[in-house]
Amino acid sequence: MDELRVENLSMSFGALEVVKNVSFTITGEERRVVLIGPNGAGKTTLFNLISGEFPPSGGSIHLLGRNITSTPCHRRMHLGLARTFQVTDLFPYFTVTENVLLALQVHDRCAYQMLRPLKSYRRLYRRAEELLKSVRLYDKRNDTISTLSHGEARLLEILLGIAASPRILLLDEPTAGLTRSEATWLATLIQELLKDVTLLIIEHDMNVAFDLAERMMVLYQGEIIADGKPDEIRENPRVRDVYLGAYRE
């Protein structure tokens, strides 16, 4: 069964066509698919369509064989999908642990529990601690978000996506704003932690992109102009044109 299948997906804002007839399939065996493209190509919009921020102007989206084109965003997250954001979007007045708990409790039976205190659900706290330890944020578990560095906040952002134990995780520019060494570390972390999760990653950092990718798709002006192995993409003349030499070997 295909993890994710997108057919003739289009999105227009008024007269502006941001996503034009995009089709691709990601199977359950694939692990790291990286989506690249110049600014304004429509990558984040594509993610927004897949995660359900708004409905497409045309086309359909299928998740694990199920047509989710008109499924509301929050329902999709219970069907094996999860997503992170390019601009870190956390809960400013909660601690690190509380942020993770929010990501966890929605998938738990206790999501609507109104009488028992949250603190009594040790299984949630244990899982949160596991997750925090895996990204070395455990020491900061009781700190509020404002005390985190940008890199740590980015880690937490990704952790919120992982916490849901999704089948397929959309990572929108996970290394945005990170230093070179932080980005490399994060890429390694992603490879280790998410061995069993299918990842669709938007990346601007070409080193990270080529490093991580098993398969690459190039989006340009709303259309996929190339789709294949990283080496093929690197050699593709159209891609080189589009990037005007942004990546040099």
Partner 1 sequence: MERWRPISIGALWAFCLFVVPALPEYAVTLATSIIITAIYVWSANLLTGYTGLVSLGQAMFWGSAAYVVAILTTRGIVTNFYLAALLALAMVLILSAFFGALALKVKRLYFMVVTFAFGHVVWCIAMYPIQNITLGYNGIRGIPRPHLGFSISTATTVSFYYLVLAGATVCFTLVSFVIRSPFGHAIVGIRDNEHRMTALGYNTFLYKYICYMLSAVVAGAGGILYACFNGYVNPAELHWIWSGDALMAMFIGGAGTFWGPLWGALAYVGLRYWISSYTMYWFGIEGMIFILVVLFFRGGIAGFTGRLMKGGTTWTN
- For partner 1, the binding residues (CB under 8 A) are 51, 53, 73-75, 77-78, 83, 85, 89-94, 98, 101-103, 105-108, 110-119, 121, 160, 164
Rounded least distance, CB 134 to partner 1, Å: 19
For residues 125 and 143, what is the distance between their CA atoms, to the nearest angstrom?
15
Distances from the Cα of 140 to the Cα of 95, 104, 143, 145, 152, angstroms:
9, 18, 5, 9, 9
Residue 172 or 203 with smaller CB distance to partner 1: 172
Rounded least distance, CB 149 to partner 1, Å: 20
For residues 83 and 47, what is the distance between their CA atoms, to the nearest angstrom?
8
Rounded least distance, CB 117 to partner 1, Å: 4
Tokens of 88: 């870190």
Rounded least distance, CB 12 to partner 1, Å: 22
Helices (H) and strands (E) in the chain, counts: 9, 10
Residue 64 or 102 with smaller CB distance to partner 1: 102
Element (H, E) at 105: helix 96-105
Contact in structure between 49 and 56 (CB atoms under 8 Å)? yes
Contact in structure between 190 and 174 (CB atoms under 8 Å)? yes
Backbone dihedral angles phi then psi of residue 8, each to the nearest 5 degrees:
50, 40
Max Cα distance, the chain (Å):
62
Residue 165 or 191 with smaller CB distance to partner 1: 165
Residue 198 or 239 with smaller CB distance to partner 1: 198
Backbone dihedral angles phi then psi of residue 86, each to the nearest 5 degrees:
-65, -45
For residues 245 and 243, what is the distance between their CA atoms, to the nearest angstrom?
5
Residue 94 or 243 with smaller CB distance to partner 1: 94
Residue 163 or 178 with smaller CB distance to partner 1: 163
Rounded least distance, CB 92 to partner 1, Å: 6
Rounded least distance, CB 78 to partner 1, Å: 5
Strands 16-27 and 2-13: antiparallel
Residue 75 or 238 with smaller CB distance to partner 1: 75
Rounded least distance, CB 100 to partner 1, Å: 11
